[in-house]
Amino acid sequence: MKLIKFEENVKLSNLNTIKIGGIAKKVYIPKTAEDIKILLDLSKQKDKLFFPVGIGSNTVFSDGILDHIFVLTRELNRFNLYEKEGKFYLEAEAGVSFKTIIRLVQKFNLKGFEWLSGIPATVGGAVVMNAGAFGTEVSDIIYEVHWLNPDGEYIILKRDEIDFSYRKSPFQNNGFVFKVIFQLEKSNTDIRRIIKNHLLERNKKQPLDYPTAGSTFKNPQKFSAGYLLEKVGLKGFKVGNVAFSEKHANFVINLGGGKYKELKKLIEIAEKKVASIYHINLEKEIQVVE
């Protein structure tokens, strides 16, 4: 087997934005699609969970030692911007951060990505979750997805071949999104100014002064999850060192030294309260890895 770079006994709390988690027995750091194929094969052979990790903004790891095939995307960071027939195409590998893309679209004044600015994400994770904000989703600007299926086959899919929906894609727990091509356009307005105003608005509404995993629950059809959590009295409610933010009830924050068992209990309390009062079963947006 080709030797793929790896690290052992890695603190999982360093691999997600809420800073909670135990120890990963081993994490792999691939550089190519061939490396990903090998790791997908290894997960099958060993019957272990294959779990890609970018920034870890919607991910919570349990405590203790976890023995999965953790795949860090940080060295899958190549990107290329080109123009064709008046359109701009951004080709970006799984580990390219949204921060990098925002710098690019500001430099060339390209529209399409501005409402996604501020989302702490990498390309791979954002496409898998169909990340979005302020009524837009990353799937709105996708031209093509290069995907390795669970058998390691390299497949290129056009946007109309992919069934995206609210915070869902066919890539969840299913192979690996290796590269994405976004379609953007030259803007007649100042994209830099739009992004600046958008980030100011985002900062007013979201708790960025504590480690957080982003939105805890998906929004049900009739009400936002934050509204429901506030109505049942959970805004600011805490279990140990983990709490629902006073600023936005759907954001769980780590007050310092938070543990997975505290977060798990907090989520269970929220699910039970909302179900008993509003008869709505909240669906988690965060991914929990045990």
Q: Looking at residue 135, what DSSP letter applies? A: T
Residues 284 and 218: their CA atoms lie apart, in Å, by 6
pLDDT at position 179, please? 98
pLDDT above 90 covers a percentage of the chain that reads 91
Return the number of other C-beta atoms located less than 10 Å from residue 172's C-beta. Answer: 12
Q: Which of 93, 144, 262, 285 is catalytic?
A: 285
In this structure, the dihedral spanned by the alpha carbons of residues 76, 4, 17 and 223, taken in order and rounded to 10 degrees, is 70
The residue annotated as part of the active site, out of 159, 167, 192, 202, is 167
Structure confidence by residue, pLDDT tens digits, 104-125: 999 999 999 999 998 999 999 9
> Which candidate, 72, 95, 81, places its Cα nearest to that of 179?
95
pTM given for the model: 0.94
CB 82 within 8 A of CB 88: yes
Measured torsion, CA atoms of residues 128, 131, 137, 141, in degrees rounded to the nearest 10: -50
Domain boundaries, the chain: 6-72, 79-192, 208-289
State residue 203's pLDDT score: 83
Question: Helix or strand or coil: residue 81?
Answer: strand
Decide if pLDDT at 234 tops 90: yes
Please identify which of the residues 57, 97, 215, 245 carries the catalytic annotation.
215
208-289: what CATH class?
Answer: alpha beta
Strand partners, 142: 182
- Span 8-27, average pLDDT: 98
To the question of domain 79-192 being in CATH 3.30.465.10, the answer is: yes
pLDDT of 33 over the 90 cut: yes
Give residue 1's pLDDT.
59
Q: Give the residues across from 217 on adjacent strands.
A: 284
CATH of 6-72 among 3.30.70.20, 3.40.50.300, 3.40.50.620, 3.30.43.10: 3.30.43.10
Assess whether 167 carries a catalytic annotation.
Answer: yes
Q: Give the tens place of pLDDT for each residue, 178-218.
A: 999 999 999 999 999 999 998 998 888 889 899 999 999 99
Is 80 exceeded by the pLDDT of residue 283? yes
Give the DSSP H/E element, type plus range, for residue 274: helix 260-278
